[in-house]
Chains A and B, each alone.
Chain A
Amino acid sequence: EDQVTQSPEALRLQEGESSSLNCSYTVSGLRGLFWYRQDPGKGPEFLFTLYSAGEEKEKERLKATLTKKESFLHITAPKPEDSATYLCAVPFSGGYNKLIFGAGTRLAVHP
């Protein structure tokens, strides 16, 4: 069964305190892993696509990495404006452009 699990469910950081979010997945024939950011009351906003193990992508204080079983979203020296829910998703096995999402990690960065 295709599944995406994110941990932790919630994370509280002090400004400048680096950490990582985890996304583990079980799907046959991974065709990509996607990270989104969602602010309260808004739709998810696309951040990164990773296609193969060992691949890394960076955007400002965020860096996403991918292994054969999981992905990490590393947040370096976070600021309060990084507070949001971070979602990861993978395409369904054998599916077209259908994504299965994890439940997300709620990140709160305090000054």
Chain B
Amino acid sequence: NAGVTQTPKFQVLKTGQSMTLQCAQDMNHEYMSWYRQDPGMGLRLIHYSVGAGITDQGEVPNGYNVSRSTTEDFPLRLLSAAPSQTSVYFCASSRADSYGYTFGSGTRLTVV
């Protein structure tokens, strides 16, 4: 089992560029989420999904879009990258009856 797979692991963007962070899980989990992790601030929820076709905003959604066309995939789109989006991004998934999230290994994004 691969668990939660995130790509790429590292990315450098210029201000104003757009990109998509990929996330895929092979555990048939209903719930998927995106978090960003910044020093001293812990993990903050960006967007989440409770199933295919259903998404909602978390604490810090501005500048990000998501969609969930399949159970397995939950990509995160940066529309116009800003230096404030420099962070480590984690995708996570869980069963609907459990809060025990499985996290991916993260994408370290730098916006210059």
User: Which positions in A face B, CB cutoff 8 Å?
Assistant: 4, 31-32, 34, 36, 41-46, 49, 87, 89, 91, 96-104
How far, in whole Å, are A36 and B42 apart by their CA atoms in the complex?
12
**Does B33 have its Cβ within 8 Å of any Cβ on chain A?**
yes
User: Which positions in B face A, CB cutoff 8 Å?
Assistant: 4, 31, 33, 35, 40-45, 48, 50, 58-59, 90, 92, 94, 96, 98-106
Number of A-B contacts (CB under 8 A): 63
How far, in whole Å, are A102 and B40 apart by their CA atoms in the complex?
9
How far, in whole Å, are A45 and B35 apart by their CA atoms in the complex?
14
Given the interface pairs A43-B106, A98-B45, the reply to whether A34 lies near B96 with Cβ below 8 Å is no
Chain A residues whose CB sits within 8 angstroms of the CB of B92 once the complex forms:
43
Could you list 12 further interchain pairs (A-B, Cβ under 8 angstroms) beyond the known A4-B42, A44-B103, A46-B102? Answer: A31-B99, A43-B90, A44-B43, A44-B90, A45-B103, A46-B101, A87-B43, A89-B43, A91-B99, A96-B31, A101-B42, A104-B42
